Amino acid sequence: PLFVVEGKNQNLPIKSMPGYSRFSIDNLVTEAKELYSLGIKSVALFPAINDSFKTPDAREAYNPEGLNARAIRAVKDAVPEMMIMGDIALDPYSSDGHDGLVDPKTGEILNDATLEILAKQAVCEARAGVDIVGPSDMMDGRVAYIRAALDQEGFHNTMIMSYTAKYASGYYGPFRDALDSAPKKGDKKTYQMDPANGEEALREAALDEAEGADILMVKPGLPYLDIIYRLKQNFSLPIAAYNVSGEYAMVKAAAQNGWIDHDKVMMENLMCFRRAGADVILTYHAKEAAKLLNN
């Protein structure tokens, strides 16, 4: 995962993610080249949008000249072999800080009205050059809706990595710091899943498979290895694990205090994802882990 900001030669550290930065597009391109040379063949881009572009209808989400589309084009131009995953969700663009549209009267998330915007966002990203779209919004029915919209525009080869089992988790705090994307009101419990519920992951996975998802993802990662394992046992699609920002921050904080051996714990965590059955790991440790493995 990589964070993008406006400007030139920007490398803005994220306090709650030691060692991790938000890059302007020029530096993002340099980083992508380096990552590719280290053997990392895929990146997921997350834009930090200026507040002035955040609106209740999140229309910046499908602006072909917006930060996200420009970043995708730049990385694709510079490193064409790099697989790029675009994020699908409204929170970086929404003045409400929610992944879906919010009913101004009731505060309810408007599932079906949101699908329309997610589909536009997916097509916008596909036109900019993504190989994969990753719906992280958790609206119901979005995989089928996005698949149909992509196919209609001729993007039959654009893959969907569905955030299949994404829990309403406390582990996303540092990510929300990075994008300044925390909900203004309420929480995400009406669309993200209950951490106490394991069965729902199986129902969500069956729906995503039927709707045309190419990869099923579990998020967060480490406290949810049982979910990764259950999906791997029950479905033949590749399973991805998202080793999220809060998990990364905990390793960094403990290591900075000298309480754990950083590299040992990092590699153990990554290996345990594989043991549980993850075919793909999204992790903020990717670069340092690749360097370690290359040595």
Catalytic residues: 166, 219
> Which is closer to ligand PBG, CB of 78 or CB of 272?
272
Give the range of 7-15, 113-121, 169-177, 210-218 binding ligand PBG by CB under 6 A.
169-177
Report if residue 172 touches ligand PBG, rule: CB under 6 A.
Answer: yes
- CA dist 143 and 157 (Å) reads 15
- CA dist 97 and 17 (Å) reads 20
User: Is residue 192 within a helix (H) or strand (E), and if so which, with residue range?
Assistant: none
Report if residue 60 touches ligand PBG, rule: CB under 6 A.
Answer: no
Report if residue 176 touches ligand PBG, rule: CB under 6 A.
Answer: yes
DSSP letters, 64-118, are TTSHHHHHHHHHHHH-TTSEEEEEE-STTTBTT--SSEE-TTT--EEHHHHHHHH
What part of residues 242-271 is at the interface with ligand PBG (CB under 6 A)? 244-245
Other CB atoms within a 10 A radius of the CB of residue 295 amount to 5
Q: Which residues contact 92 (CB under 8 A, 6 or more apart)?
A: 46, 47, 48, 49, 61, 68, 179, 181
- Total chain residues near ligand PBG (CB under 6 A): 11
Q: Whole-number minimum distance, CB 1 to ligand PBG, in Å?
A: 6
What part of residues 188-207 is at the interface with ligand PBG (CB under 6 A)? 188
What part of residues 67-96 is at the interface with ligand PBG (CB under 6 A)? 89, 91
Other CB atoms within a 10 A radius of the CB of residue 40 amount to 16
Give the range of 111-119, 171-179, 198-206, 208-216 binding ligand PBG by CB under 6 A.
171-179
Q: Pick from 94, 136, 158, 283 the residue near ligand PBG by CB under 6 A.
A: 136
Q: Are strands 21-24 and 11-13 parallel, antiparallel or unpaired?
A: antiparallel
Chain positions contacting ligand PBG, by CB under 6 A:
89, 91, 99, 136-137, 172, 175-176, 188, 244-245
